[in-house]
Structure 1
Amino acid sequence: MAEANISVDQDQFSCSICLDILKDPVTIPCGHSYCMGCIKGCWDQDDHTGVYSCPQCRQTFTPRPVLGRNTMLAEVVEKLKKTGLQAAPPAHCYAGPGDVACDFCTGRKHKAIKSCLACLASYCETHLQPHYEFPGFKKHKLVKATENLQEKICSNHDKLLEVFCRSDQQCICMLCAMDEHRGHDTVSVVAERTEKQKQLGVTQSKFQQRIQEREKELQDLRQAVQSLKRSAQTAEEDSERIFTELIRSIERRRSEVKELIRDEEKAEVSRAEGLLERLEQEIAELRRREAELEQLSHTEDHIHFLQSCQSLCAPPGPGDLPSIPVSPNVSFEAVRKSVSELKERLEDVFKAEFKVCGRVEEVSVLEPRPDRTSYNMAVSSHWTPTQRTESFVCLRGTER
């Protein structure tokens, strides 16, 4: 009797745990088969739970099934080995999510390593060999495996996009160049790629220059913030020392002045930190775009390059951040000086036996007014991009 020829897939006789041809095959109650050693090792890890499951279908078994060698399956595997059945390829050879699959593999497809722009197909290593061996394929253009090969074909003529129309800024085929684009400024996609590559280099230089400028501003602003904090701390300490020398009647105002200084520091630091965050975001965005440009500059896909280059090569905008005018030499010297002057003036008044009676009515931030009899003490300063406005704490009293 003639033996029947049966077509089998080697995956049918591979263990899904070790991905190799079955060795001492055993079949578990759900019907799936594994190497004896593989399934034992898998279930040994579940001994602490007492529940055992199939690695493929997840059906559970309690108690642990007794494993017996599947003699018939073992004989089939041995016979098939003699007829040329080999171990399954490693799992990383198969196409997965995000991979380009070979167009000529049947069953489970392998990863494609090259795409042919003439055949409009992608090939794994095995199916690519004819392109290297047969003279008829030698002139075919092979590129890195890529998806959406139809995007490189003219939708009107089903021809390869080989020409770039500078008049309309689009990729076209040879028939388009002789038909609706006749008389237009056309060049090969390779020539246009070379020209756009130069533009890309100029744009990259602009991005790098902008990054360097912003990093310098970031560093200067950080130093200014530190100087601002140190000045605020010094002003707070000096004000505290001077206030402790004042008469008891203004003792309760000390904490209010201190709070004014801290509020000013907080406002300035908050503004600076906002600018820091925006600078860091802009630098991150510039770096991201620079990385995209770098990746685009190395692509072998001329069509993808030309279709993406115009949008990516748009030069960076001037940005909407204001200039950073914070000076590293900012100080609260005006606070210390004004408090010292107030102390001296009060001492002069006391020496002249001029007594200021009544209670302090309010502490307000005011500009000096010539029509008011008052003692003005500067305790805070406001810095803007164009000016510094000094404010004053007005201690008002009525003469008895």
Structure 2
Amino acid sequence: MASANTSWSEENLSCTICLEVFNSPVTTPCGHNFCNTCIHNFWDEKLEYKCPLCNELFHTRPDLRVNILLSEVVDRFGISVRVKEEPCVEPGEVPCDVCTGTQLKAVKSCLVCLISYCQTHLEPHQRVTVLKKHPLVEPIDRLEDRMCEKHDRILELFCKTEQVCVCLLCTVTDHKSHPVVPLKEEYEEKTAQLGKIEAEVPLRIQERKLKIKEIKDTVELSKKGAHKEIADARQALTALMGCVEKCLNDFNQMVKERLKSTEKQAEDLIKGLEQEVVDLTKRMSTVKQLLHTEDHLHFLKAFRSLKDPPPTRNWTTVKARPPSYEGALGKSLDQLEETLDMEMKKLHSGDELKKVQQYKVDVAIEPLPLSAPRFVMPVVGKKVKGGGQWNHSYYNYKQSSEIREDRNDLSVLARQGFTSGRSYFEVEVKGNTKWNLGVTTISGSISDQITFKPSHGYWILTCNKDGLVFSDDPAVRLPLKAELQKVGVFVDYDKGWVSFYDVGARVHIYSATGCTFSKPLFPILCREY
């Protein structure tokens, strides 16, 4: 009697559905064996019941029982599936969705099944005719993200109108009239656009670096000019005593304040430019990373945030304006003469003029010159909410004492404006923490909706709980070391200057230079409750 060949291989004892060693094997009426769970899961997904191997059709779902003999064979030989020469999944790699127990590294992902397969479990897609038609791609994690949330179909098209990825059913529903293209076509178009962005970013960075150098050079020249002016002033004034020494100190303070203002302005501009350089560098890095991805969906989703450049400032017209020191020394000497003359009058005059001059300010800070009209108006007091007083006094070249009060919030506007020359006025602000003070080209009523900016005809210094602000575009925030008692405003109409002073501390607050005046200017004061 010939002996039976009892040499078994793992292939003889493996389920053709899961490709693993049989687990509770059952036999179909046609004689083929499968894992009990595998064959039932297979039939649960079908509308008809047939054998996965021979395709024999059963009219009713067979009542299967465990093949006891085959189960004993599996247990006796103790066979386990060993997948040779296939790597296990490492951190960051895509695992096989079919493997049970130890997961192996996926080698392909099916865009129809939405499952990633290792080499072993990919075999049906390489053998079965129907499965061969499924598009396979490099392993992709989270394949469910590629499904349309509304129709549960794969996202394979791109809507040009709404710039989103859509499925085939979307094109006949929500996006029926919208032009759509395959993802690959849109990917290639966006890649070309991103390439242009990549080429533009270095140019923008270079432009900003050049602007930074230009501003730094301007600041350096400003420093040299400031040091020269201080040295010239020291040589001319060191021989004087008393008031002359005071004049020198005031002059130095003016130059340093102007230089400080220029440096602060330059510092803000440089910070803005450097920040844009950092942002653009990060953008270029992100663009480069995105250009190397082959994940069309990830690329198109990320592209929406990168297609438009971040908002940046137009730096082509921005310049750091160096302070002007032209004629500063001569004007300071003129002011010194006026100061000495005022002191002499205080000693020899006991009439009403002496009382009036108590309101005058001995401001020896450029740009206030001797020739600027300095006529004090009678102090006007008016009761306001809370029982306080709001005092204001004007100086202008017409010596006009007419003022106009607008509405009930005590907004005060001079009736007489000026169209040339230099003018100076003061306002007592002691005890008031919210006010707006300066000049305007608006001669009529003051609108509640008006924005105090030079572009709207207002050159205004504002005081509020946050401190002092010159209302420009952008606004210029200014340090406030102590509570202001009285503010002086000097205007040089022809040169385009508007300057503000802390009268009590004899300190220059801020100067707006390079202004263009084409209409009469009127002093304006607005009190806020």
TM-score class, shorter-chain normalisation, is: 0.5 to 0.7
For 2:108 and 2:364, locate their aligned partners in 1 and report how far apart those are by CA, in whole Å: 77
2:186 maps to which of 184, 192, 198: 192
Higher strand proportion: 2
Change (3 A) 1:127 1:321: farther
Contact 2:237 2:248 in 1 (8 A): yes
The residue that corresponds to 1:95 in the other structure is 91
The residue that corresponds to 1:362 in the other structure is 362
For 2:327 and 2:120, locate their aligned partners in 1 and report how far apart those are by CA, in whole Å: 82
Deviation at 1:217, TM superposition (A): 1.7
For 1:337 and 1:357, locate their aligned partners in 2 and report how far apart those are by CA, in whole Å: 21
The residue that corresponds to 1:53 in the other structure is none
2:215 maps to which of 206, 210, 221: 221
The count of residues paired between Structure 1 and Structure 2 equals: 286
Alignment of 1:210-359 (within 5 A): 210-317=204-311, 319=313, 323-326=317-320, 332-336=325-329
Alignment of 1:129-144 (within 5 A): 130=123, 141=135, 143=137
Deviation at 1:152, TM superposition (A): 1.0
User: For residues 334-355 of structure 1, what are the alpha-carbon distances to aligned partners after superposition, in whole Å with 9 as ceiling and x for unaligned?
Assistant: 335656x769x98xxxxxxx9x
For 2:221 and 2:289, locate their aligned partners in 1 and report how far apart those are by CA, in whole Å: 41
- The secondary structure found in structure 2 opposite 1:312 is coil
For 2:186 and 2:250, locate their aligned partners in 1 and report how far apart those are by CA, in whole Å: 69
The residue that corresponds to 2:114 in the other structure is 120
User: For residues 30-85 of structure 1, what are the alpha-carbon distances to aligned partners after superposition, in whole Å with 9 as ceiling and x for unaligned?
Assistant: xxxxxxxxxxxxxxxxxxxxxxxxxxxxxxxxxxxxxxxxxxxxxxxxxxxxxx9x
- Higher RCO structure, 1 or 2 (CA under 8 Å, sep 6+): 1
Contact 1:206 1:316 in 2 (8 A): no
- The secondary structure found in structure 2 opposite 1:199 is helix
- The secondary structure found in structure 2 opposite 1:164 is strand
Higher helix proportion: 1
The residue that corresponds to 1:14 in the other structure is none
For 2:212 and 2:239, locate their aligned partners in 1 and report how far apart those are by CA, in whole Å: 41
The residue that corresponds to 1:165 in the other structure is 159
The residue that corresponds to 1:39 in the other structure is none
User: For residues 161-200 of structure 1, what are the alpha-carbon distances to aligned partners after superposition, in whole Å with 9 as ceiling and x for unaligned?
Assistant: 2222324433223344456645542221111222222333
For 2:219 and 2:124, locate their aligned partners in 1 and report how far apart those are by CA, in whole Å: 65
TM-score, normalised with respect to structure 2: 0.43
For 1:227 and 1:135, locate their aligned partners in 2 and report how far apart those are by CA, in whole Å: 80
For 2:190 and 2:233, locate their aligned partners in 1 and report how far apart those are by CA, in whole Å: 63
- The secondary structure found in structure 2 opposite 1:159 is coil
Matched AA of 2:211: E
Contact 2:106 2:139 in 1 (8 A): yes
User: For residues 306-365 of structure 1, what are the alpha-carbon distances to aligned partners after superposition, in whole Å with 9 as ceiling and x for unaligned?
Assistant: 23323321244353779422257x6635335656x769x98xxxxxxx9x9589983443
Matched AA of 1:304: H
Contact 2:247 2:364 in 1 (8 A): no
RMSD between superposed Cα atoms in Å: 4.8
Larger radius of gyration: 2
For 2:213 and 2:275, locate their aligned partners in 1 and report how far apart those are by CA, in whole Å: 15
Contact 1:143 1:301 in 2 (8 A): no
